[in-house]
Structure 1
Amino acid sequence: MLRTLLSIALLSFGTQSLLAVPTPEQLLRNQTHSYINESKLPESAESKEFATLLSKTPEWQRELCDSGPVEDAAKTVQVLFDIWKTDKELVKRPIDRAMATACALEGGHFDWNSEAMLERYEYFRDKWNLGLLNIMYKDLTVFERRYLAHGVQHRHLNGLESMEYQNTEVCLPAERYTGACWYARWILLNPFGDTIHGPLYYQPYRNSWTNAAEMIRNIGGVCGSLSNFGAAAAIANGVPAITMGEPGHCAYTVMIKHNQWQPAYSLSWKRGIHRPFYGQSSWGWHVLTNRAMADTKDVYASADIRRLAMDYGKKKLTGKALETIAIARRKYPLDWQNWQTSAELMNELNGPTSQWQELHQDTLQLLASTSPEAAWTLLDKYVYKHVLPEGKDKADDRERILLAYQKSISGWGVARWEYDRALSKQIKLLAGDKNLEDQFAVSCFGAHVKENTLTPVILEHQLSRIGKDDDRRSQFIASIGKGLSKGKGDDFNNVIDTLAKKILPDAAKNGDKSTFQFIGSLTKKVFKPTEISPEKFPGVLLSSGGTFTIDEPGNRWDNPARHWGVIEEHGGDFHTGSKNPHATIQLGNYGLLSGVTIVTRGGHIGRLNGAILETSLDGKEWTTVYTFSNVKRVNRIPLADKKIEAGYVRISHPNKQHLHFEKFHVYGKKIN
């Protein structure tokens, strides 16, 4: 397959050029030789023997060159040489050779020296020979073994004594290492009152146990110690794992099966992997990288095409280089190196605009659907500066190009990521035209309506940008609402629900009747009307056309999207929190009140007993007009004799009982 691809790539270059093309084996060997030359190994019989052996072993060359980034080739080869010197037969044992290479690659990345990496290699070699590692270890790729070689963030758990302890004491099936963190207890302060965030927490116990893992298991710690303990336990037993940073927290992840990683002790989707290989340190990049590296046949084939493109680039054969790297990224779009190399080659060779436009289209068609995050990184870092026209008079063209990215993505891709940052950066590229920025936000919302994953982010981001500009906010909401009012089906219903959950509480809080009513009225399409219709009081429904708010809107029992119907004939429902339970109506019209009707939810009707009904002209000074007792499912409170004028009506509960109604209607005569 690879040779077929290369042949197709080269047919247009002529017979003589085709004959001059180096083979994949030659290019691989050349790359290996360049690494050996960079290392400047000492002149000796052993170094020559090592270099010759490496040059004659294609499998070893691939493991070295095509198992993720080689960040420091000189140090990597030096570490590999130092390991090989102590065990020259490892080249004949594929499992040990793979582990030695992984240790060398991580030695080149991290501040491990040869002695430390040799210890790790010998640990895994010997444990495997003794049958003391998880069976998964046998089939790990060199790339996956790099997680074993790397170790965990807390370096004291990477020592051999700790690894020996955890190999003996925390021996589990691979999938159960997600719970290994709980072998140690969670405890913030030691018995002397020292916090774990200070230097004295473990100090009294340094000489009480022989290793850090045993000390942590017996003393305990918080998320950092526990997550590092859990990840280190997996690694000590030959199961890849890595720690992760989260906002105010430390977690970890374990490879429970080949190419299947499971977060552990994780509290957030915002995860920063402590050993990223490409792009950013996010969880999405971790998933994408491991998918790309899962099939070594594809990895090697992709690397062969990429090496050929880079060889053309060195020879300044621009057309051949760019055409060949295009084949690589189109055939193997998960491999980030193909995308990065495409951009770097075009920068080095001054690729024409047409080639940047091709890269832009390939990114949208082949990468964005799988990883919008990686696609955005490529566009933002490399591509947009070459395809976006400059100047305020070109803002419309920029908007069209930027919107193409939004239309190419669907949901989060491989994992949730900080999409709002990409949206913010795109909006900035529109050169400060607020009308165009708002139009772009509406278009983005429309592009994601059907899937309805990114719409809440777009909504929150845009409303934050608008701030207190009421006219601009109303115009934005009207624009997105106009499209939703014409939509049908579950997809549109889901978006309306999402929109109402966000908009209605804010509109009610700000006293924005028009927005509350406009968005609220859309929910009639989503929720069925309440079947109970109590007898009305004289006059009009004064609550209709107003706003409605409660304490803690959106709490675990409440859906704010259903609030609009509570004060309208349609009906809805709400459920307050318990800290300061209240349900407040800003009436659609000031009026002389004739009565109030309440339809409670079907359960826990008695909670309404003891609640008080209050009225106000301005929403600030309140007067109690009724105390509930002997309540039923339907409650009618006549108020005509009290001659009450009001603009606001609320029910609160001094006993902090929850309130939950389906209808809260206020009747009377309009006086404004």
Structure 2
Amino acid sequence: MNISHLILCTSLLAAPICAGQDFTEPEAAAPVVASPLPSSMAQKISSGDFAGLQTEIREALQAAGEQTKATQKLLQDNKYRHLLDIHELLRVTGPDNMKAIFSKSPQDAAFVKAFLQNPVWMELYLGAGLIPENSPAGIQILSDIWKADGKSPDFRTYQSLATGIASVFSTGPFAGKLKANSANCNPVRRYQIFKKLHQENKLHPGFIKLRPWEIRFVTGIHWDDKSYEWLNEHINLPWRRYTDACWAAPYTGSNFFGDTIQGPLFYVPWRDSSGEAENTRTIGGVCGGLSHFGTMAAQAHGIPAYPVGQPGHCAYAVRVKRGQWKGGFGGPDGGMHNHIFGSEAPTSYLLMEAVFADNEKIDLAYQWASQARLDEILGNKDKAIQSWQEALKQTPLHPFFRTELQRLLLEKQGMQPIDWYVYAKDALSHYKGNGFAAFNILKDVQNKFLMDIPAADRIAWFRDLHETIAATPTSWAVKFQPVLDSQSAFLTTPQEKAAYLETVLSTHLKTGDGTNFGQALEWAVKTFVENGQADTFSSAFAKVAQQAGGNDASGAAPDPKKLKEAYGKAIYATEVARSIPAFQTLSKAAASFSDANTSSSTVNTPVPQGWKLVPADGMVRCSTTCQWDSPWDHINLLRPCGGSHHTDKETNPNVIVELKNGVNLAGLIITKRNGNEDRMKKMEVSTSTDGATWFPLASTDNMPKEWIVTAPEGTRAKWIKVEAKNAQPEFMHLRHILVYEK
């Protein structure tokens, strides 16, 4: 562990947690209150006759609906709403399963009676996100928690905590791991730990306001329960800095005795310690262990977090407020280990945050969902459709609700292509900022109308969808290719395909941070250029370039200045998208804009003997670009002729070289561009084998014009980062980053 690492770890252990900006919103409105059940229903509950209870409640709800046609008015009635909650709970759990829990012990029976008399708690449970995926297990966990603490006077305060724990232990991606490790991960013990920490004022103040779906991201991780207590005591820092908590443990692949982390002996000498967190803090680990450590450190202080998988790497994310997650160790993007509506971050957590954004609306939406399911059970599908539509008025993006509505619409007779088109257009209007969710939920609906409308209207529909996607925050981790492949399957002629390509490139060139544009270019290279249709690609790109200045395409030859600007933006977009094939193709196509003579060398320093230049078949990724940048010359940074790049002003601007293949690194020659060379003084070079975990290779406080960096024997690298360390924001511009292997 180096000195800077020790300083960081010390600061993490010493800094107190502080509230800062809250990451939740207060409850919008008081939930429904309990109403006394009719004596016949209460008797059925007491006797464990849940099948009979379900039948009686269904008949009572049906009768109420026949007497009062205005369902909205019914949902405002506490008695009706209470019965509807019980009906939905029995539907998702099953009367037989409820009876099995009830019959397990007198204490379980007492819980079931108390739970069915508590609509507030039932609605927290039914709206926890993934219920009814495995409701019987969730109800049993709630019963176990209630048996341990239900009689305490403050239990109502912790109903959301109990419900969130029941949800994460019974449903979702962590449920199986938590069950398999029940000796160390017990839901009752986990509940007691968090209640105790809250009562001792050791959690973030916003913790107690979290809803069950949010509690999933505080209590849901498969490490042992006691690690929460250890982390709460030993890893304390300002709450927004829990993205750094992973570095409180050392990064290492072997323990003090030389046992590797891939083997069974890595943690054996410490197996009797305070749990996995303390083990990791003592001996360290690689990205997986450190990311879980960072995740759990945040959670141990009542802050939602999740680990995230990336290619060859594990990172994590910490939630700083509703809708905003910050990355730790290379997060927050990638495959979420804990999730509700899909695992692809950031689009999945953005959808989740949008669905649950308003407490009052989501509660009402779940009531309408319960009504819709009742309507369908009673055989009234038209009324069920209306109820699902009412649910979606409250939360238009809820994927489970929209899936149910679309299922009923698909079963309905008489829906014509124009009806589906109108429905799809209306649905799409709600998805600004969640375009990938729109594509996923509407891709089956498209099949009902796309081939029955004119080709021009198909392209127009795709344009509308891409404008929605372009306005959606995204990253390299969100895969755009499935959208493009799916849509292009509806194109029947070369003219349509060319028009579609032009639409896609034009839309994403104008909107977004370049990630989608870069992935669209990668797809276009594979689909057109590599399949003998380079002319189609070139023509579409030229038209897009001509339009980039705001003018319509006139059919004339592209303006060279606009074409150059478009290629510059396109090449930088391929870097953001991390696409080597697209970077290579676009760089070759834009080579005429470069003044570099690739057959000559501008390196004055002799190359050390035995060093072999790595071919420029990878890519260069600059941290930022600006008006003085020349992206078409980025690739030449890897060639002796020299290239150029120009970042914007940053405190730590950097350039990352990604090689096509990993190499045994011999060293580097890094040179400055002529002019303003004093901007680059304090510089660092790091290497990585996974693109996320960086190891220092060299540093200097006064970088020379031509800097030779020799790598220690055995250095492996696929990524190399050259970074400026400035006291104040400054530009960075280099001429060479020549990579040599042995």
Match of 1:145 among 215, 218, 235: 215
Shift of 1:26: 3.1
The residue identity in structure 2 corresponding to 1:245 is G
* Residue of structure 2 equivalent to 1:447: 507
The residue identity in structure 2 corresponding to 1:262 is K
| Segment drifting more, 16-25 vs 458-467 | 16-25
* Residue of structure 2 equivalent to 1:320: 383
Deviations 1:138-159 (A, max 9, x none): 22222211223322xxx3x323
Shift of 1:371: 0.6
Shift of 1:226: 0.6
The residue identity in structure 1 corresponding to 2:262 is H
* Residue of structure 2 equivalent to 1:540: none
The residue identity in structure 2 corresponding to 1:18 is A
Alignment of 1:279-428 (within 5 A): 279-347=342-410, 352-353=415-416, 356-367=420-431, 369-380=432-443, 382-389=444-451, 398-413=458-473, 417-428=478-489
* Residue of structure 1 equivalent to 2:294: 230
Call closer, same or farther: CA 1:420–1:90 in 2, change over 3 Å. Answer: farther
Once residues 330 and 148 of structure 1 are traced to their aligned partners in structure 2, the CA distance between those partners, rounded to angstroms, is 30
- Structure 1 residue 30 and structure 2 residue 109: aligned? no
Shift of 1:246: 1.0
The residue identity in structure 2 corresponding to 1:158 is D
* Residue of structure 2 equivalent to 1:178: 243
Once residues 66 and 422 of structure 1 are traced to their aligned partners in structure 2, the CA distance between those partners, rounded to angstroms, is 30
Shift of 1:66: 1.0
Structure with bigger gyration radius: 1
The residue identity in structure 2 corresponding to 1:251 is A
Deviations 1:516-556 (A, max 9, x none): 66xx5xx9xxxxx9xxxxxxxxxxxxxxxxxxx99988565
| Segment drifting more, 100-109 vs 275-284 | 275-284
Kindly report the root-mean-square deviation, in angstroms, between the aligned alpha carbons of the 2 structures. Answer: 4.1
Call closer, same or farther: CA 1:14–1:407 in 2, change over 3 Å. Answer: farther
Once residues 110 and 591 of structure 2 are traced to their aligned partners in structure 1, the CA distance between those partners, rounded to angstroms, is 79
Call closer, same or farther: CA 1:90–1:462 in 2, change over 3 Å. Answer: farther
Deviations 1:173-201 (A, max 9, x none): 32122111111011123344433233332
Once residues 415 and 557 of structure 1 are traced to their aligned partners in structure 2, the CA distance between those partners, rounded to angstroms, is 14
Once residues 583 and 338 of structure 2 are traced to their aligned partners in structure 1, the CA distance between those partners, rounded to angstroms, is 43
* Residue of structure 1 equivalent to 2:12: none
Once residues 334 and 165 of structure 1 are traced to their aligned partners in structure 2, the CA distance between those partners, rounded to angstroms, is 39
Q: 3-state SS of the aligned residue for 1:158?
A: coil
Shift of 1:97: 1.7
Match of 2:164 among 102, 108, 113: 102
Shift of 1:118: 0.9
The residue identity in structure 1 corresponding to 2:206 is M
Q: Is residue 501–residue 524 contact of structure 2 (8 Å, CA) maintained in 1?
A: yes
- Structure 1 residue 247 and structure 2 residue 308: aligned? no
Once residues 386 and 348 of structure 1 are traced to their aligned partners in structure 2, the CA distance between those partners, rounded to angstroms, is 12
* Residue of structure 1 equivalent to 2:277: 213
Once residues 465 and 275 of structure 1 are traced to their aligned partners in structure 2, the CA distance between those partners, rounded to angstroms, is 34
Q: Is residue 551–residue 582 contact of structure 1 (8 Å, CA) maintained in 2?
A: no
Q: Is residue 230–residue 274 contact of structure 2 (8 Å, CA) maintained in 1?
A: no
Once residues 254 and 674 of structure 2 are traced to their aligned partners in structure 1, the CA distance between those partners, rounded to angstroms, is 46
Call closer, same or farther: CA 1:384–1:197 in 2, change over 3 Å. Answer: farther
* Residue of structure 2 equivalent to 1:464: 526
- TM-score by length of structure 2 reads 0.63
Q: Is residue 166–residue 187 contact of structure 2 (8 Å, CA) maintained in 1?
A: yes
Once residues 575 and 124 of structure 1 are traced to their aligned partners in structure 2, the CA distance between those partners, rounded to angstroms, is 53
Shift of 1:14: 9.9
Once residues 624 and 207 of structure 2 are traced to their aligned partners in structure 1, the CA distance between those partners, rounded to angstroms, is 48
Q: 3-state SS of the aligned residue for 2:340?
A: coil
Call closer, same or farther: CA 1:342–1:140 in 2, change over 3 Å. Answer: same
Deviations 1:18-47 (A, max 9, x none): 389674443223212433723331435434
Once residues 330 and 151 of structure 2 are traced to their aligned partners in structure 1, the CA distance between those partners, rounded to angstroms, is 42
- Structure 1 residue 77 and structure 2 residue 77: aligned? no
Call closer, same or farther: CA 1:29–1:173 in 2, change over 3 Å. Answer: farther
Q: 3-state SS of the aligned residue for 2:320?
A: strand
- Structure 1 residue 264 and structure 2 residue 328: aligned? yes
The residue identity in structure 1 corresponding to 2:429 is Q
Q: Is residue 235–residue 297 contact of structure 2 (8 Å, CA) maintained in 1?
A: yes
* Residue of structure 2 equivalent to 1:68: 129
Call closer, same or farther: CA 1:490–1:287 in 2, change over 3 Å. Answer: farther
Once residues 557 and 48 of structure 1 are traced to their aligned partners in structure 2, the CA distance between those partners, rounded to angstroms, is 61
Call closer, same or farther: CA 1:142–1:350 in 2, change over 3 Å. Answer: farther
Q: Is residue 309–residue 335 contact of structure 2 (8 Å, CA) maintained in 1?
A: yes
Alignment of 1:532-551 (within 5 A): none
| Segment drifting more, 24-33 vs 78-87 | 24-33
Q: Is residue 637–residue 643 contact of structure 2 (8 Å, CA) maintained in 1?
A: no
Q: 3-state SS of the aligned residue for 2:107?
A: helix
* Residue of structure 2 equivalent to 1:498: 569
Q: 3-state SS of the aligned residue for 1:180?
A: helix
Deviations 1:107-148 (A, max 9, x none): 222134588111111111222223333323222222211223
Call closer, same or farther: CA 1:218–1:504 in 2, change over 3 Å. Answer: closer
Q: Is residue 335–residue 345 contact of structure 2 (8 Å, CA) maintained in 1?
A: yes
Once residues 158 and 624 of structure 2 are traced to their aligned partners in structure 1, the CA distance between those partners, rounded to angstroms, is 58
What residue ranges of structure 1 are gaps of 5+ in the alignment? 3-12, 524-528, 530-548, 566-571, 585-599, 606-657, 661-672
Match of 1:275 among 320, 328, 338: 338
Once residues 558 and 227 of structure 1 are traced to their aligned partners in structure 2, the CA distance between those partners, rounded to angstroms, is 27
Once residues 33 and 499 of structure 1 are traced to their aligned partners in structure 2, the CA distance between those partners, rounded to angstroms, is 55
Shift of 1:497: 3.1
Call closer, same or farther: CA 1:128–1:385 in 2, change over 3 Å. Answer: same
Q: 3-state SS of the aligned residue for 1:272?
A: strand
Q: 3-state SS of the aligned residue for 2:306?
A: strand
- Structure 1 residue 17 and structure 2 residue 77: aligned? no
Shift of 1:52: 2.5
The residue identity in structure 2 corresponding to 1:17 is K
Once residues 472 and 210 of structure 2 are traced to their aligned partners in structure 1, the CA distance between those partners, rounded to angstroms, is 29
Q: Is residue 244–residue 328 contact of structure 2 (8 Å, CA) maintained in 1?
A: yes
Once residues 504 and 52 of structure 1 are traced to their aligned partners in structure 2, the CA distance between those partners, rounded to angstroms, is 64
- Structure 1 residue 188 and structure 2 residue 253: aligned? yes
Q: 3-state SS of the aligned residue for 2:229?
A: helix
Call closer, same or farther: CA 1:188–1:28 in 2, change over 3 Å. Answer: same
Once residues 408 and 578 of structure 1 are traced to their aligned partners in structure 2, the CA distance between those partners, rounded to angstroms, is 37
The residue identity in structure 1 corresponding to 2:85 is L
Call closer, same or farther: CA 1:424–1:133 in 2, change over 3 Å. Answer: same
* Residue of structure 1 equivalent to 2:230: 165
Q: Is residue 163–residue 232 contact of structure 1 (8 Å, CA) maintained in 2?
A: yes
Q: Is residue 167–residue 237 contact of structure 1 (8 Å, CA) maintained in 2?
A: yes
Call closer, same or farther: CA 1:314–1:326 in 2, change over 3 Å. Answer: same
Deviations 1:552-611 (A, max 9, x none): 88565998999999xxxxxx9889436633579xxxxxxxxxxxxxxx954569xxxxxx
Call closer, same or farther: CA 1:370–1:339 in 2, change over 3 Å. Answer: farther
Once residues 408 and 575 of structure 1 are traced to their aligned partners in structure 2, the CA distance between those partners, rounded to angstroms, is 33
Q: Is residue 306–residue 328 contact of structure 1 (8 Å, CA) maintained in 2?
A: yes
- TM-score by length of structure 1 reads 0.69
Call closer, same or farther: CA 1:118–1:276 in 2, change over 3 Å. Answer: same
Q: 3-state SS of the aligned residue for 1:238?
A: coil
Once residues 362 and 153 of structure 2 are traced to their aligned partners in structure 1, the CA distance between those partners, rounded to angstroms, is 21
Shift of 1:376: 1.2
Deviations 1:362-382 (A, max 9, x none): 332112x121111111122x3
Shift of 1:435: 4.4
Q: 3-state SS of the aligned residue for 1:252?
A: strand
Deviations 1:272-297 (A, max 9, x none): 11111123443321232133224321
